[in-house]
Structure 1
Amino acid sequence: MSRDVAPIARLKYLLRRLTSFDPRRVWGFASQIAKEQGKWAPRVFVDMLVWAALHDTAYIDYYEADFALLSKSERKTFMTSLIQHHLAQAVNDRTDVLQFENKITFNRRFAEYLGRDWLDLDEVDAEGLRAFAEKNPVFIAKTPVGREGKGVFRYEASEVTDWNAFRDELRDKGQRLIEQRIEQHPYLSEYCEGTVNTTRVATFFDGTKVHVLMAAQKFGRGAVSDQFTWGGFFTMIDENGKSFGPGHTGKHKSRYETHPDSGKSIVDFEVPMWDRVVDLVTRAAQEVPTVPYIGWDVAVGPEGPMLIEGNWTPGLYETRVSATGIRTGSRARHRPVIEASRR
């Protein structure tokens, strides 16, 4: 049994699981795993229940990390969503995390790290919006609170004929945050020009040192966002900013040795200006010491990296053995935050 989650947190998790248990959903996962990996569905079904009850592994985690292909010792090297959620709840201040949940609040707090213009639609009239769009003919509108790329939209100023009506439309849709469109590094544009391909970096600030716990490179398919909900995929990144191997979606059986649209190599990918990316998140991680465990989304532009947002629950990114052949997860690198959660 994992010792990385406090007993009371595990008990609450088990109670939630019992009250929401849907055997048809679990059987659906087991059947899909059996079909994709040549396993016997009933055995997978029972194994999923055991690892959910005793090893802090949600059914979706079991599927996405290919646990059916891993030994018990190999599985224990992987992070799970329950462990990550427990860590975030244990070390991050419940009030101060609000600075990260709202994108407008985040932009104000981390203004020096953004590298782009933006405005709050509630603070400008239609003429102010039009003036912003004249400088930024293609711009991004976001709802202040949203996850997984939902609530992110791209507009072209040339298509707007009535700025008063357009401003009212954006406000009615809740798209209050207006941002300059990011120009990404030419190397990243070679992979997918139509989407800003961002790097997720999880950090933990122990009060003295910032630890880089995990990094993943996300790739888009031409949509406004590189998230899975928009067709994106990712590859894990090592401590030198280089790809671990082929990319995958984590949501179904997939393997990308090259980008499916551009043909650029995923296995040979290196994050441009990696040292500057690490420096950026290291500085940003110390801004709010009461929220030490953060997953940063970083875009790298021609002149350097810039923050997109910070997620106080960093998001679960792990390799898949079926896609990469790698049988070791990132839990060991999370030791600093795991130890801090026990204090």
Structure 2
Amino acid sequence: MSPAVAPVRRLKYFVSRLASFNLSRPWGFAKQIAEEQGKWAPGVLADMMIWAAFHDTAYIDFYEADFALLTKKERKTFMTALVQHHLADTLNDPVDVLILENKISFHKRFAEYARREWLDLENSTLADFQGFAQRHPVIIAKTPVGREGKGVFRYDMAEVADAEAFRAELISKGQTLLEEPIVQHPYLAEYCAGTVNTTRVATFFDGEKVHILMGAQKFGRGSVSDQFTWGGFFTMLDENGRSFGPGHTGKHVSKYETHPESGKSIVDFQVPMWDEVVAFLDRAARELPTVPYVGWDIAVGPDGPILVEGNWTPGLYETRVSATGIRTGSRARHKPVLDAAASASSRR
């Protein structure tokens, strides 16, 4: 069993999953894995159930990390969603995480790092909205609370005939946060100019030092967001901000050695201004010490990093051996936060 998750939490998780157990879900994953990897579906199902029950591995984690292709020792080098959620729940203050969860609260607290104009439609006037639209002919509208890019929209104000009616429509849809569009670094624009290609970096602040636990570069396909729900994909990054394998979606069979549209190399990608990104995160991660374990989305602009948002559950990004050939996950880099969570759990 993994020592990362406390026995009581594991038991609660197991009981909750048992109560809601539906064989069709794991069987669906087992059949998909068997078809994609030439395995025997019943054997995959049994393997998956064992790892769900005793090794903190959800069915989707088993599939996305290609566990069916890995040895037991190799699997244990990977992070899983349950372990990640345990770390976040153990270490992050349940009230202060709302500062990150709500994008309006985030902008108020991290204005120095977000570095772009924004407007709260519900706490501003029509004149404020019209002025914002004049300064920014293209606007980004967001639902203040949302994940995976599902609440992000882009509007060309030249297509809006009635500003008052459009403002009311945005409010009715819950798209009450407006942002100035981010201008990304020319190097990133070469990959996909139509989408801001962001870098996800997970950090842990131990009270003295900010540890970088994981890095992943996301690439868009021209939509408003680079998330998977908009057709995006990612590649894992080493400690120097360089890709260490082809990109993939993590959601199905995929492999991107080059960007499908631009043809730019994914395997040779290097985050521009990486040293500045690290220094930037070292400062930002200290701003909310009660939420020490965070996954940050960074956009690199022409003159430096821009903080897009912070996620108090950092999001699970791992390599896939079927796409990259890499058989080792990021768990070793998470040792500082794993140790901190174990220590916190032992004191309770």
TM-score bucket of the superposed structures, by smaller chain: over 0.9
Deviation at 1:22, TM superposition (A): 1.2
Deviation at 1:216, TM superposition (A): 0.2
Whether 1:115 aligns to 2:125 is: no
Task: Name the SS of the counterpart of 1:148 in structure 2.
Answer: coil
Work out the CA distance in 1 between the residues paired with 2:113 and 2:138. Answer: 21
Q: In structure 1, what is the equivalent of residue 103 of structure 2? A: 103
Work out the CA distance in 2 between the residues paired with 1:187 and 1:130. Answer: 33
Check whether the contact 1:204–1:212 (CA below 8 A) recurs between aligned residues.
yes
Q: CA RMSD in A?
A: 0.7
Alignment of 1:171-190 (within 5 A): 171-190=171-190
Q: In structure 2, what is the equivalent of residue 6 of structure 1? A: 6
Once the two structures are superposed, what CA deviation does each residue of 1:35-68 show, in whole Å capped at 9, x if it has no partner?
A: 1111111110000000000000000000000000
Q: In structure 2, what is the equivalent of residue 152 of structure 1? A: 152
Q: In structure 1, what is the equivalent of residue 61 of structure 2? A: 61
Once the two structures are superposed, what CA deviation does each residue of 1:162-221 show, in whole Å capped at 9, x if it has no partner?
A: 111111111111111110001111111111110000000000000010000000000001
Q: In structure 1, what is the equivalent of residue 237 of structure 2? A: 237
One-letter amino acid of the counterpart of residue 171, structure 2: R
Query: What stretches of structure 2 of length at least 5 have no aligned partner?
Result: 344-348
Check whether the contact 1:127–1:163 (CA below 8 A) recurs between aligned residues.
no
Task: Name the SS of the counterpart of 1:214 in structure 2.
Answer: strand
Work out the CA distance in 2 between the residues paired with 1:152 and 1:73. Answer: 40
Q: In structure 1, what is the equivalent of residue 52 of structure 2? A: 52
One-letter amino acid of the counterpart of residue 100, structure 2: F
Alignment of 1:61-140 (within 5 A): 61-140=61-140
Check whether the contact 1:273–1:304 (CA below 8 A) recurs between aligned residues.
yes
Work out the CA distance in 2 between the residues paired with 1:5 and 1:78. Answer: 14
Deviation at 1:151, TM superposition (A): 0.9
Work out the CA distance in 2 between the residues paired with 1:91 and 1:212. Answer: 16
Deviation at 1:124, TM superposition (A): 2.1
Work out the CA distance in 2 between the residues paired with 1:21 and 1:190. Answer: 46
Deviation at 1:123, TM superposition (A): 2.5
Work out the CA distance in 1 between the residues paired with 2:28 and 2:142. Answer: 35
Once the two structures are superposed, what CA deviation does each residue of 1:282-325 show, in whole Å capped at 9, x if it has no partner?
A: 11110111100000000011111100000000000000000000
Q: TM-score, normalised by structure 2?
A: 0.98
Task: Name the SS of the counterpart of 2:307 in structure 1.
Answer: strand
Once the two structures are superposed, what CA deviation does each residue of 1:123-177 show, in whole Å capped at 9, x if it has no partner?
A: 3222211111111111101010000001111011111111111111111111111
Q: TM-score, normalised by structure 1?
A: 0.99
Check whether the contact 1:233–1:247 (CA below 8 A) recurs between aligned residues.
yes
Q: In structure 2, what is the equivalent of residue 264 of structure 1? A: 264
Whether 1:304 aligns to 2:299 is: no
Q: In structure 1, what is the equivalent of residue 254 of structure 2? A: 254
Whether 1:317 aligns to 2:317 is: yes
Query: What stretches of structure 1 of length at least 5 have no aligned partner?
Result: none
Deviation at 1:115, TM superposition (A): 1.4
Q: Which moved more, 1:288-297 or 1:19-28?
A: 19-28
Deviation at 1:14, TM superposition (A): 0.3
Task: Name the SS of the counterpart of 1:342 in structure 2.
Answer: helix
